[in-house]
Structure 1
Amino acid sequence: MALLWLLGCLVLAGSARATRSLPSCGVPAITPVIRGYNRIVGGEPAVPGSWPWQVSLQRNGNFHFCGGSLISEQWVVTAAHCSVRTTDTVVLGEYDQETASGDVQRLGIAKVFRNPKYSALTIRNDITLIKLETPAQLNARVAPVCLPQATDDFPGGMTCVTTGWGLTNPK
C-alpha cells in the first residue's frame, strides 16, 4: 500500500511538469568530480553546481535542517524524518551555505505530503514529497534528478552517489 501511495504521488508530481521541454534529468551542466569511494561519513567536497538537484531545507530564516532532491520544476523529495512544514523554505542552487550566491533560489512550500505509513520508531516509509509554491527556474545550477522506472535494474558493483551538506573531515 505504501508503494502505491508513493507511485501515486510520483505520477502526480510528473504530471505537474510544465509543457515546455526541460533539461535532461540527472545530467548536471557542471561535471562532478568523484575522487574515490568515500562513505557518507567523511564524504568529499563537491564541485560547485555539479549536483543541481540537491536542495537545502531551511527553517527560521537560513537554518539548514535537511536536504532533498528536486524531481521536477515544482516537486522535491526528502525524508519523512525531516518533519518539513509549510513555513519552511526550499533553497535551490546553493553550494556554500556560508557564502551568498546570485544563483540561489529561495522558494516557499505549498503542500507537504508525508507518507502516512512513516514510522519514527522503525524509520520505515521514510519519504515526503514537497510541492513548491512556485516552479523552480531551471538552469545550469538548478535541474531535476532522474527517478528510476519500476523495471530499472541496479546490479551489484554499480557506482552510486549521495549528496548533501555535512562534514568532509571528521572532528
Structure 2
Amino acid sequence: MDQNFGAFEAIAITPGPHLADAANSLPVVRALLDLAAQLASHLESVEAISWGPARTAMPPEFFNSAITSWIEGGPFPALCLTGFKVDPQGRLHTDGMEWFVGREIVLSAELSRDRTSATRIAMRVIHEIVAIGRLDTLVEMSTEDGTKLSLEPIDGNLIVRSSM
C-alpha cells in the first residue's frame, strides 16, 4: 500500500520534564498508554497508533483493547509494544524490550523453529520480564504447558533456551 504520510497529523504523548528520567518506568508508561487509548477512542479520525521504541503501528481498536486489558490487570501488551524479527541464525528477537528492561529478548534457534510457538513463548517471557525488570543473572521459568526455559543475559541480550 502506497500511503502519503504527509497527509496525516500526529500527536506525541510524552512525559513532562519532571518525569523524563522515569519515562520508561511502568507506572508512567501505563498512565501515558491509558491516556493514548482514551484519546484514540474519542477521536474518530485516528488511523493508527504507533509505539516508537518498537517501531510498531497498529489499528486503534487493537491498541485500545490490548492496553485497556493490561490496565485492568491483563497481560503485558507485547504485540503492541514489542516488534519481532528473525536473525540470520533463525532466532526470534524482540525489538523494543530494551526500552523496558535494558535488553532485547532472543529465543534460541531451537525455540524459534515454529514461529507461532516462538511468538507465544516470547510473549510469555516478555510478560514475566517486564514485571521483574532487568535481569543480570540466569533465571529459570516454566510456561503454562510445562516447557522449562532458562533466561540468561549474554552480550547485552536476554537469551532464552529450553532447559531440560
Highest Rg: 1 or 2?
Answer: 2
TM-score category by the smaller chain?
A: under 0.3
Higher relative contact order (CA 8 A, sep 6+): 1
TM-score, normalised with respect to structure 1: 0.25
Q: Comparing both structures, which one devotes a greater share of its residues to helix?
A: 2
